Amino acid sequence: MMISANINTWRNLNQRIKSASAALLVVFSIQCGAANIEGKVIKVADGDTVTVLDADNKQHRVRLTGIDAPERHQAYGGESTKSLRDLVYLKKVTVESSGTDRYRRILGKILLDGSDVNLEQVKRGFAWHYKHYEKDQTLEDRLKYADAEVWARNQRLGLWISESPVPPWEYRKDQR
């Protein structure tokens, strides 16, 4: 009788653990899925910030991770914005979100047909690889972005036509 009761207790406990594990798996899957946003880019604010409209007509302001583009009123700011607009405006994209910033923008890598738009901005010479936040990138992305910046500099593309372009983080500091 005692063995039978212990077996039933164990079976009940085992079933509860399985149910709890299944529930946690569902919650974890939902949270992981929520990290990606799919939608159409409806606004390009500057060379590293866009607004994406999802299928539920919710707008998401997205700050491109791994890069820092010239400010709008800074040299090459207009060209950087135009470059990003040419790449993504009114196109369907996927945003791989990695959190939010202090301005409540989503931080993310934008993919267009599987291609990394953030990296493309660096390759075109319209953004710096933002090394201050590179720890938030995968090692693979860190290396790709750093190589792309060196390549754009050597090719004198975009803002690298200038002998000594002012990085946006220095420009912002000087404006304060």
- Point out the residues that are catalytic: 63, 71, 105
CB of 62 closer than 8 Å to CB of 52: yes
Residue type, position 71, single letter = E
Exposed (0-12), middle (13-18) or buried (19+): which is 56, by Cβ within 10 Å? exposed
Residue type, position 79, single letter = E
DSSP-derived letter for residue 40 is: E
**Phi/psi of residue 74, each to 5°?**
-95, 160
